[in-house]
Structure 1
Amino acid sequence: MSARVVIVGGGPAGLTAAAALAPSAEVLVLEREAETGGIPRHSDHPGYGMRDLHRFLSGPAYARRLTERARDAGATLETEAMVTGWTAGRALEVTSPRGRRVITADAIVLATGARERPRPARLIPGDRPDGVYPTGQLQNLVHLHHREVGARAVVLGAEPVSWSAVLTLRRAGCRTVLMTTEYEKSESYAAFRAFGTAVLGVPVRPRSRVVAIHGKRRVTSVDVEDLDTGERRRVPCDTVITTGDWIPDHELARTGGLEMDRGTRGPRVDTALRTSVPGVFAAGNLLHPVDTADVAALDGRHVARAVSEHLSRGGPPAHGLELAVDAPLRWVAPQLFEPGGPPPARGHLLLRCDVFRTFPAVTATQNGRPLGTARPPWPAAPGRVFRVPYSVLADADPTAGPVRLTLR
């Protein structure tokens, strides 16, 4: 088979790109799940769609709205279709209940998203009982299958998604008896922390981690260690939720030979979201794990413009000057930019930081020469993305080599 544009992933980024491209090109969206919509499909609480749709929707309503927009625009949405590999050129191997086939495309957009690391990847020792779930599995069990999950839960992590897990547990009749974080305070927004502790009554224990899980058939307790004193105490519970600690779903990008970024662990892209392979683009949380669903959707809108340009005129793979970061910054996205070229999505660079800064200042330098300093009006914190205006790179010299970003 062949298509003008193939989009791999039917979440917010993929569906938004499809809706933007379908009126002028043949677009096929391949989604491995039984329904399109991505993570919001089973995240049944409000807060979705504010930046892209200018609506305040629940996760399932948001997923349905994006699906309808892509379908109404003329895109073909194929579910239960797993892309398992590449053949020569821009050709994808696809396996589904309808059989195996190869689909070639003039342009491919990878929008495969990100996932949380489960317990084995976090190397938490102890028994192997039932009752240990990442947030996505928890939400799937509660919102889609209406299953009971337990009565007392311990949540690992204190990111925004961690409070989403608390709301899901509450809906299932399960009380969150403890939330742990290895940082000195919750990584989430102040409003989330205040609502969670004051209204939901969830105790947050900073500078702590779960070091063992106990139970035979079902979780019975966990051991929590204080990272400063080494003291341990046992907390009775029957459910453990591992939240945050995101990693891109990057297997397809890696097997396709795309150049990968060591910081984000996703494909390296330029400001137009082009990858190192001509005609292959990437968008959403595959690039910067993890941002909100509506920001991923805006990435899809942004990449659609670059894909349209590629279809009409062709173009090179990702190119430009390299962007690098110094600790405590962990990564920057995009990683390549062309002075005087197109800006990134929403005119911002995306950064991840490993420390808390209430009033962060980010300085850009090139060969030791200061280019500028940006002082965004929002804090930097572990576990979430913060944005820096692209204008901080305005004085970069196209011939002077890489640009480094430093947190002051």
Structure 2
Amino acid sequence: MSRSNPFRFFLSRLTEDYLLLALVVGLVPLLWAVSPSLSELAGLVHWQTLAALTGFLVLSRGLEDSGALARCGVWLMGRFRTERSLALALVVFSWLLAAVVTNDVALFIVVPLTVALAAVVPVPLGRLVIFQALAVNVGSALTPIGNPQNLFIWQTRGIGFGEFMAAMLPLVGLLTLVLLLATVLAFPARPVVVRPAQRPVNRRLLWVSCLLYPGFIVAAELGAVVVAALAVVLLYGLLFRAVLRGVDWLLLLVFMLMFVDLGLLAGLPQTDALVAWLLALPGGVMTASVVVSQFISNVPATILLASLADDWQALAWGVSVGGFGLAIGSLANLIALRLARVEGLWREFHLWSLPALVLALGVAALAHYVV
């Protein structure tokens, strides 16, 4: 459908995007139950997160549109000639990247690369992106800087960097072995043939995107992410307007509604009663954090449970496992699925992620018993 009528375009996307539709519909009873003011609603939105998401959406789209990632795909296939070896390489790369630069940033690098790769190599794009999402959830769990929930626990509990990694290593180590085994089983060892690249590289767009990417990360680390995001959007609007037209702007609306809906839900007295009941179940903090993550995502779950949980390791393990299962369990899942732009991918994601949740629970129980 044409975007000449923004309202009609939004309505068409709303009916096609089930998560967005659920967030809009769910907002109505929450507003009625809580009756927040406009300032309270605005306070629920993590504006810096939205600004960071905006910048990375534009920059990753710029890299993808430059055509350079497709060339990288051809280069990769010169070294990994089978579907299985390529999948293992991408999964390991995603894992390592997430442990260093956070799971969200890792996905903004690896998913556009995979999308471009699929343009020159006949590979199952959707399945590759799903396993990359699983990989960043595992890899990011190892370090205090790998994801927002770890960073929150690390900063609020006064834990040493090495101490945190040592506590997460048994869980992450076993999850990594399961992930690699699942990758081997999920991708056949059949050879793949590279198709010729369809377009030349836009070197100007490539250089601008490559130069801005690390600068934007540094700006985000220094707390200037809002100004940096505005500068990125303005620059691309002046130089590469077509890049902005290709950005999935509705993803920002999805995240904004998630912050509002989940913030209002967390404030309900019924939520407090449910959390208290979950904490009384076998497994205590770990059980509660896994379950709560499935409904409000693992970052809000961490913040909600932190004041009630004395055992920070059980909390960190639980929200790491909670990143599997439903797509909403981790914001990284949502980013990966939206960046891939593959029809029917949400259903396929859950065919892999729900069994992954069951396996991760078993792995967590085994790791807890061992240590």
Quickly name the TM-score band, shorter chain normalised.
under 0.3
More strand, by proportion? 1
More helix, by proportion? 2
TM-score (structure 2 length as normaliser):
0.25
TM-score (structure 1 length as normaliser):
0.24
Q: Which has the larger radius of gyration?
A: 1
